[in-house]
Structure 1
Amino acid sequence: MTEETGPARRAGRRAPEVRCRAGAVAAPAAASGPAGVTAPLAAGGLRIEVGRVRGDTAVVAVAGEIDLRTAGTLRDRLVGLHGRPPGAGPRRLVADFAAVTFCDAAGLGALVAAHNQIAADGGEIALAAVRPAQLRLLRITGLHRLFAIHPAVEDAWAAPGPPAASR
């Protein structure tokens, strides 16, 4: 009699890790550098780094996979960069998705949650350099109407942000 080992997994993809948040130790926040630029934060293969800040706009470079393990980190980091207390950070965040290799429903949920918190304070999240597969997901789910989506970061710089009166 032979022992079955279960179904074979596709090469290159790993099964999602599910962890209980109760009792989990929070990752330390990234240290702030000069002129509001923040050092990268790595959590489960996701890097989030403030690249450029100009006026009320900050470009946030996101790299890696946004999934069940990393979605909460993305949400918390975007909301934290916007500012606590309200109005302390940049009003407009441009999330550069050029180096995002994967984004699932948990990642989309994290973006929506961050948007809701930031928009309540008069802020905005715009997306730039979104890969075709992820852009398709945004269109299928209707989220392309929630976020301003730009082909490149430079296009997002030129686009107007939220009106000052909404702050």
Structure 2
Amino acid sequence: MSEDIRPARRAGRRGPEVRCRTARAPGPPHEAPPPLTVPDTGAVGELEVEVAMVRGESAVVVVTGEIDLRTADTLCARLVEARGEGPRRLVVDFAAVEFCDAAGLGALVAARNRIMVSGGEISLARVRPAQLRLLRITGLDRLFAVHPDVAAALAEHDSSTTSR
């Protein structure tokens, strides 16, 4: 009693037609093009996370490269490591970040959560417009203080220290 029940099609409406045409010119068999070779520069897709400066309870961490699924764990680990070295506040300089996807955003949130447990905090500086848009779309701009430059981030950190 298993009948295949399908909805009736409307009269006069045709389903989409999909056609695949591979026209070949007459002559010898078609050869595949040679494989595309991309020069290996060694830097494409790499991520560098470096503490550039420590001032009081603040450290500037410069991130360079691409933050994606492959490099997100490295970012998280290095930020947590930088916090473990002493400075309570991290200013993450994003000026040299070429690309950041959802995995990168997740790594930032994970690092923030781990750093906050020990009383630390993270702010972002010099975030590129496309990445700033991602932060706004995801609501992460409310989770992280975002500054136009490193000096503004450090000034905010300094003013929050003196107001205590």
Both proteins in one fold, TM over 0.5: yes
* Contiguous gaps of at least 5 residues in structure 1: 13-41
Instruction: Name the CA distance, whole Å, in 2 between partners of 1:75 and 1:107.
Output: 9
Question: Is the CA contact 1:123–1:162 (under 8 Å) kept in the aligned structure 2?
Answer: no
Identity among equivalent positions (%) equals 65
Aligned residues: 126
The alignment status of 1:126 with 2:123, answered yes or no, reads: yes
TM-score of the superposed pair, with normalisation by structure 2: 0.69
Other-structure match for 1:62: 63
Which one has a bigger Cα radius of gyration?
A: 2
Other-structure match for 2:139: 142
TM-score of the superposed pair, with normalisation by structure 1: 0.68
Compared with structure 1, are the counterparts of its residues 4 and 161 closer, same or farther at alpha carbon in structure 2 (3 Å cutoff)? farther
Which one-letter code corresponds to 1:154 in the other structure?
A
Q: Could you list the per-position Cα deviations for residues 45-97 of structure 1 after superposition, in whole angstroms to 9, with x for gaps in the alignment?
A: 111111111000000010110001110000000001100xxxx5110000000
* Contiguous gaps of at least 5 residues in structure 2: 1-28
Instruction: Name the CA distance, whole Å, in 2 between partners of 1:162 and 1:71.
Output: 31
Question: Structure 1 runs of 4+ off > 6 angstroms?
Answer: 1-5, 161-164
State the SS of the aligned residue for 2:87. Answer: coil
Q: Could you list the per-position Cα deviations for residues 100-150 of structure 1 after superposition, in whole angstroms to 9, with x for gaps in the alignment?
A: 010000000000000000011111010000000000000000000110100
Question: Is the CA contact 1:96–1:153 (under 8 Å) kept in the aligned structure 2?
Answer: yes
Other-structure match for 2:152: 155
Other-structure match for 2:77: 76
Question: Is the CA contact 2:88–2:121 (under 8 Å) kept in the aligned structure 1?
Answer: yes
Instruction: Name the CA distance, whole Å, in 1 between partners of 2:126 and 2:56.
Output: 21
> Residues 10-159 of structure 1: matches in 2 within 5 Å?
45-83=46-84, 89-159=86-156
Q: CA RMSD in A?
A: 2.7
